[in-house]
Amino acid sequence: RHWVGRRCRENLTETAVRHPRRRRGCWRRRGRRDASCAPAVLRSAPFCAAQHWRRGDVPFAAGDFGLDDQIATIIDFLSVWGADGTPVHLVAVCQPGVAALTATARMAEDNAAARPASLTLIGSPIDGRVNPQMPNRVASRRSFASFERDMIYSVPFGAIGAGRRVYPGWLQHQAFLWMKPRYHFDKHLGQLRSAWRSDTEALAQHDAFYAEFHAVMDLPATFYLDTIDRVFQRHLLARG
């Protein structure tokens, strides 16, 4: 967290100085590299996108990163973004909603001056017991030990983060595909039809969608397992 946080604070401080009235958002989806979907939601104002480094690119000596570190990092971000009194609008998509809500609640409890002026949660698993989707059902059916045994790998030697335990991006990519196999089959069949018709606009939309879809990344094992245990199995935030 300290290795990532130091670099993020440097970038965020520079952005806050150069764009003092910029509307800000914390934008991150579990296992995703980029934030190309953000402009579709925040069309009315520019924003800052906060993301994690791929764990294979972080030196082993830099330490671990878990769910508590994500919460603390969001608080760090907000403290920088809101240091000049500019209202901060926090947006979280999918899994980060839990950390964003927890960070906001902590800052509100402490009456922090930089606490968010608004919080928007999009598709976040605040209480996975309510209207559970496939990921929620899978997480509740399997034991925690099975996730640790089957989903965690070590970064190979030769990489910067060699020896780190991670949830690999390729596993996340497979999970995305197998959640909706028919959908992706139809999408690629449609691409062939678009190519036959020379429909360049449809082809460009397809390529843009899958460029973002394929942009997965390795996650730290602690962060992934914390999410499985505390968010999807024990529902700690919803239980108070």
Per-residue tens of pLDDT for the chain, all 240 residues: 444 444 554 554 454 445 554 445 554 544 554 455 555 555 555 566 655 566 678 888 888 899 999 999 999 989 988 888 888 888 888 888 999 999 999 999 999 999 999 999 988 899 988 888 888 888 888 999 999 999 999 999 988 889 999 999 999 899 889 888 999 999 999 999 999 999 999 999 999 999 888 888 889 999 999 999 999 999 999 998
Task: Count other C-beta atoms under 10 Å from residue 119's C-beta.
Answer: 19
**pTM of this structure:** 0.80
Residue 185 structure tokens: 């089959």
Q: According to the model, what pLDDT value does residue 29 have?
A: 46
